Amino acid sequence: MSNSIKLAILGLGTVGTGVINLINDNLNELKRRSGRDIIITEVGTRRQRDDIDTNIMQNSDLMAIAASDNVDIVIEVIGGTTLAKDVIMQAIKNGKHVVTANKALLAEHGNEIFAFAEENNVHVAYEAAVAGGIPIIKVMREALAANKIDWLAGIINGTGNFIMTEMRDKGRPFADVLSEAQELGYAEADPTFDVEGIDAAHKLALLASIAFGIPLQFDKVYCEGITGITLQDVNYAEELGYRIKHLGFAVRRDSENDSDAGVELRVHPTLIPQDALLANVNGVKNAVLVNSHPLGQTLYCGDGAGAGATASAVMADVMDLVRVLGSKDRDDQSNTGHHVPHLAFIPDQLSDTPILRADQMVTGYYLRVHAYDSPGVLADITRILSDAGINIDAILQKPAHKVGQVPVIILTLPVVESQMNLAIEKIEKLETITDKVVRIRLDELA
């Protein structure tokens, strides 16, 4: 058995450099835990770096590195869904295990990548792709393996959480906080993936597949961002005992009517109770709440991004793969025979459970309705909701913010989205309504 495991790191940005630093800082601990020398033999970089150990080969040809005989494990941290995919497929073809932090790539092409890895008897590990340093992938694939997961809800984008926290705590408008997030490096120059929920949707697709044993289906995730959230709504939510968080939900819906059964995959702003665990996860932190049977609710919280957090997750995967390689050397069994399946379930046991459409989703609602201050307005609104089978949980009428116009805040109990769509359409047709109805989903997380 060779005593050394050889790594190649493709990409020397924040995460790639963080992995190098972690290995250098904790080299002795890594060897004590694995019984092997873990060394970096090659790095993929577009330009030569003077701060890299001269014993490490620097190469701009990533495909060549992925095929190198001097590499056991390829760590892909270049991002994107084109070159990264080609490099990973090349590594798999050449019998290399792969570690990646690339949630977009796996969410969109993971089914193909994982199948190819199975065919080639190697493993693709991706703890760092979801929630940074929080070991949520390992927890769901291994620690909760005996549980039936009913639902999960997560703050899985730190940028969005930072923005919502600042708006609530300091009364700052969305645009102002977004600008600061960009200055601090929390948000990209083009923040679309963060503020429109696309980044969270990539991560949710992965979590849902692991939770329910279904193929990756990113294209079926309902996605709504936070750009429309106003300070007015943040303050009204607080007054009613709720906080607004940008959450991803994966929910198993069982029903006697087969057409209503399936899985909800949704990312959107959500009112949750102020005393809920997720309501008190602030700043750039991430957290995932998992409800499973028989364990019940468990919360996993920590840094969701950054060099240290992501490098920690990358190296956790490396350590798992080091043990896989060690078991192969000892007994010549297959590499994947000692490892948990990519999506937690045996590949031929993944189910075809349908993903429910947006209009089939079931949630409570916060509605903000602007109306003329005239008799009978509230009665008309409540009648429409009642006729649609929607139960009201609370009503709050605020002082007029424009002459003769009042905002009415309504909280509803859970209802099928299609019913709410019809009700809102009728409310907006009332002559007394002065603007579009603002809706934000509500969940008690119970």
Q: What is the pLDDT of residues 271-326, one digit of tens each?
A: 999 999 999 999 999 999 999 999 999 999 999 888 999 999 999 999 999 988 87
Evaluate the CA torsion angle 338, 340, 345, 347 in order and state its sign: negative
Average pLDDT over residues 244-257: 90
* Active-site residue, 285 included: no
In 3D, which of 417, 376, 416, 412 has the Cα closest to residue 392? 412
Q: Does residue 286 contact residue 302 with C-beta atoms inside 8 Å?
A: yes
- Phi and psi based region of residue 402 (left: phi greater than 0; alpha: psi -120 to 50; beta: remaining): beta
- pLDDT at position 72: 97
At 199, the amino acid letter reads D
Q: Looking at 304-308, 347-351, 391-395, which range is the least confident one?
A: 304-308
- Residue 430's CB is within 10 A of a number of other CB atoms, namely 16
Q: What single string gives the DSSP state of each residue in 420-438? A: HHHHHHHHHTSTTB-SPPE
Question: Residue 338: which pLDDT band, with cuts at 50, 70 and 90?
Answer: low
- pLDDT at position 334: 44
The pTM assigned to this predicted structure is 0.94
User: What are the pLDDT digits (tens) for 401-416?
Assistant: 677 789 999 999 999 9
Residue-range domains of the chain with CATH: 4-133+307-349 (3.40.50.720), 136-302 (3.30.360.10), 361-442 (3.30.70.260)
Q: What single string gives the DSSP state of each residue in 98-145? A: EEE--HHHHHHHHHHHHHHHHHTT--EE-GGGSSTTS-HHHIIIIITT
What is the rounded CA–CA span in Å between residue 9 and residue 380?
Answer: 63
C-alpha pair distances (Å), 442 with each of 225, 243, 270, 286, 307: 15, 10, 5, 20, 34
- pLDDT at position 254: 85
- pLDDT at position 329: 55
Q: Does residue 286 contact residue 161 with C-beta atoms inside 8 Å?
A: yes
Q: How confident is the prediction for the chain on average, in pLDDT? A: 93
Average pLDDT over residues 8-13: 95
What is the rounded CA–CA span in Å between residue 46 and residue 13?
Answer: 11
Instruction: Return phi, psi of residue 98, to 5°.
Output: -130, 140
Give percent of the chain with pLDDT exceeding 90: 85
Among 85, 96, 203, 285, the active-site one is 203
Q: Does residue 355 contact residue 263 with C-beta atoms inside 8 Å?
A: yes
DSSP 351: -
Q: Dig out the tokens for 12 from the structure.
A: 């020397």
- pLDDT at position 130: 96
Does residue 399 have a cis bond before it (omega within 30 degrees)?
Answer: no
User: What are the pLDDT digits (tens) for 45-76?
Assistant: 998 998 898 899 999 999 999 999 999 999 99
In 3D, which of 97, 48, 92 has the Cα closest to residue 72? 97
- pLDDT at position 336: 44
- pLDDT at position 404: 77
Question: Residue 398: which pLDDT band, with cuts at 50, 70 and 90?
Answer: confident
